[in-house]
Amino acid sequence: MDKLQRNILLSLCLSSLALGGCEQLGLEDDEKKDDSSPPVVVEPPDVIVEEPQEPFPVTKNLFFSGLQNPGEDTEKNFAFRYDITAGSVYRQSPSQPTSTLAPVIPLGKSRASAGYMLMIESGKLFLGRPDQSSLTQVSTLASTVCAAAVLPEGLGYGKTKITVRTPGADATCANGDDAYFKIPLNAAVTDAPGNGTSNDLNLTPFWKPNWALAGYLRPTATSLEILDAQGALTRSIDGLADADFIYAFTTGELDMLLTTDSQVFANSGAELLDTGMALSALTTIDANVMDPTKTVVDGDNVYLIDGTLVRRISLDGGANETLHDFSSEGAITGRLAQTTDYLVIALGGSRLYLVDKVTGESREIINPISGDYLTGASRIYANYQDVSNASAYLMNLDIAATACPGAHCAVTENARWLYFQTFKEVGVGYAPVLMTGEETPDPNPDDSVDSYVPAFENGYFNRPAFTSYNLSEGLPVLNLGRLNGQNKLIQTGVVEQTHGLFTMEKNPDNGDELADVIYFNLSLANSLKNISRSGSIDEKVLRESDLSQRSPLRTGNRF
């Protein structure tokens, strides 16, 4: 290559900026490049496994039931739907008696819905959805239903089935010839019911931490069978009888199984299904103390009541120790609750105590109390009520140094806390609502004396006002509204998203002793509304709030 050609090729190479093209053009480098720099290593991206979930249904309707002419020969049970937007109530069943249930449907990511309704009427099975205005007939059975249980087989109502037992040829329930059917909740009325078994009514689901179904537990006469999510048998634990399984307790990712020799197994759902993993006993305790309402779990320990003892069982190693002995302080009554740092226990039905989770030291914190109590991370909500007095307590454990009543404890007279279990997009929780009575002039006074209707008397609150509170902070959020007349709380229902129901009874002196259903919206001020359909119907919520801090999927999914 002569000098002119070389210059031309060099100019073309530089102008195109295509290094490497120089060699392709036939121009060799006079010097070798330095290739000693290390190669760039590109790390593969992390694989993110998205937790399964189903969308939360839009809450347009709430369902409740009502007993017409209770106690009479003409007594009938009906189902009702409350249209939230229209503000109207519609009866969902004709004149035949009905059975109703509000099952808890898992949605994944620690979410669940309690807004669906199942109704059985004359052998017909109907599904009421919170986002639809009309019922869907799911199946028609040839005879009446003796018993039924709802079992999710995955997330959403479409993967939930109901097992029903119907009488056999003798038309009598609970005999050997009874028939069993399994029906998906999204089935069409023309679909033939699938075959079920008697064991299907005894299945207990267990869950992954996000409430995706892991499998089922099925007790037999001699063993506990562990089934996968498809219902296939994976393993058995021998030596466990039906009576012992009653005391089994599960919560979150922790599963505790109690065997006949009182061994407690603590394993996740995946471990229960892993046949290659030998299940080892965490500890040994008396079978009779495994009461779900007297057992709580945090990230480190299981706490339970054993007679007068409060036991702490370590999840890391199974160390079983007495945290506190109440034998000298009184009999333990009620359920076991917890805050971040303390266990909360009622003694003698009237005194509330704290037990430090670390030191085991106890102290009386509220006296007197009556009924149940609710706890947040550092707040305690409790009530006291007798014939002529009603007090609502709110204790702040962040700054409390004295017992309640006292400093750092808010006491509201003529008031009562209502505890609502909430099913929301963010998960399952609790919402306290304060009901406060008001003294008013008597509409029929005695001219000789000043006459007033007391704010509270004999369980009835006069013109009660309702205020929602933030559970963790103990601060008021919204004024929900007020009811007229004298009212007594009968049932506390649940809240679906922000919409809830409860029932109140008017003072029978006013000629009305049947319960009315009350609607409210936790996100809307002055939303309280009596939606009672008729003065002759005793109305009831389909599901009451459960304060035991166990998974709501473990309770109440049976007719």
Question: Which pLDDT score is estimated for 241?
Answer: 59
**CA–CA dist 204, 206 (Å, integer):** 7
Question: Which pLDDT score is estimated for 445?
Answer: 67
Show the tokens assigned to 555: 């309770």
Question: Which pLDDT score is estimated for 114?
Answer: 94
Report which of 407, 352, 354 is spatially closest to residue 383, judged by C-alpha positions: 352
pLDDT in tens, the chain (559 residues): 555 455 544 454 444 444 444 444 444 444 555 556 666 666 666 555 566 789 999 999 999 999 887 777 767 888 999 999 999 999 987 667 788 989 999 898 888 999 999 998 888 899 999 999 999 999 887 777 888 888 888 889 998 889 888 888 888 887 788 888 999 999 998 888 888 888 778 788 777 766 677 888 887 777 888 888 888 899 987 766 555 665 566 555 566 666 666 778 888 778 888 888 887 788 888 767 777 788 888 889 999 999 999 999 998 889 999 999 999 999 999 889 999 999 999 999 899 999 999 999 999 999 999 999 999 999 999 999 999 999 999 999 988 656 787 777 899 999 999 999 999 999 899 999 999 999 998 776 666 566 889 999 999 999 999 999 999 999 999 999 999 999 999 999 999 999 999 999 987 776 567 899 999 999 999 999 999 877 778 999 999 998 875 666 655 577 6
Residues whose CB is less than 8 angstroms from the CB of residue 180 and which lie 6 or more positions away in sequence, other chains included: 163, 164, 165, 166, 195, 196, 197, 198, 200, 201
The two counts, helices (H) then strands (E), for the chain are 4, 46
pTM metric for this prediction: 0.86
The neighbouring-strand residues paired with 79 are 65
Report which of 163, 139, 161 is spatially closest to residue 149, judged by C-alpha positions: 163
Show the tokens assigned to 517: 């259903």
Question: Which pLDDT score is estimated for 393?
Answer: 96
**CA–CA dist 526, 479 (Å, integer):** 6
Show the tokens assigned to 265: 């197994």
Dihedral over Cα of 89, 94, 96, 99: its sign: negative
Q: Report cis status (omega within 30 of 0) of the bond before 405.
A: yes
DSSP percent split of the chain into helix, strand, coil, nearest 5: 10, 45, 45
Is residue 240 within 8 A of residue 220, CB to CB? The reply is no
Q: Report cis status (omega within 30 of 0) of the bond before 368.
A: yes
